[in-house]
Amino acid sequence: MARTIRASVVQSCSERFSLPDTLDKLERLTRLARDRDGSQLCVFPEAFIGGYPKYSTFGASIGTRSDAGRDEYARYHAGAIELSLGSPPLVRIEAISRETGVFLVIGVIEREGGTLYCSVVFVDPKQGYVGKHRKLMPTAAERVVWGQGDGSTIPVVDARFASGKDGEAQAEVGTKLSATICWENYMPLLRTHYYSLGTELYCAPTVDARPEWQSTMQHISLEGGCFVLAACQYAEAKDFPPEHFTLTDASAFAPKPEAVIINGGSVIISPLGKVLAGPLRDAEGILTAELDLDDVPRKKFDLDVVGHYARNDVFKLTVNKGTPQV
């Protein structure tokens, strides 16, 4: 019996950094993926909820911060979500997953106290919120507004899906998911950690729209013997709040609502390095592919970097999974 599931990557962005409007968009796109494509799993881009403030400086330079930048951070902080039990945005996300029957992997800006984190949430249609990953190392100026994750939020999550082609009896298959955000994908020890825990669906929410990103995603699929589901944002100037362009280095985009700020590049790649869908550029959209989970052992037959192709007598990976004590 076939061990197949249908999975989608969503190429879109937050709705003018408005939490209610973005949650509505999340529901609309999830329903579209399910109804049009039969999707059982949807991966959304980095910072889909909360927004990716491209070109923002938050009024910060070495040794000084501006009042306008502090106000901008306060607005950004207010639009982030808490991931505590009963958090209204999280309850809404769980309801979307439950009502559609779609497992959701979503890039969010998470708020805990005064600190923001670039995170990913895993939401199961039956179990609800089952885990999160916080970006371990924000890139460059992202460190001005995002804290660092730690070893307590680098899980590989178990998931179960109905499997079988049309006309066949439906069986349930288990698989494992992970999430690695944007340039974390260049951290070889993090990748090795996820491989060692058996990830099969390697989700890569990002805002990296460079053509070179495709080589990275294809390399990871071959290295890890896993499916890579890379969801990149597509954003135009009109998708940002108007004040964004008065406070950033992107003022030239303000009069041009259709100016492209983030150009996409979402893609789905098999463990054998074959591109199954995409890359999608120059538009919002949803890519969907049928994933044959038996492609994982087919690839591991000749390369298992944490098994028969490892040299544990020479190299050793140590992971601190604890939460640092304050």
CB 177 within 8 A of CB 200: yes
Which of the residues are catalytic? 46, 135, 182
The partner residues of 178 in beta bridges, in order of sequence, read 202
CB 154 within 8 A of CB 320: no
What whole-number distance in Å separates Cα of residue 70 and Cα of residue 284? 32
Sign of the Cα pseudo-torsion (312, 313, 315, 319, in order): positive
Of residues 213, 222, 226, the one with CA closest to residue 267: 213
Paired tokens of 22:
């973005």
Of residues 312, 301, 133, the one with CA closest to residue 225: 301
What whole-number distance in Å separates Cα of residue 245 and Cα of residue 224? 40
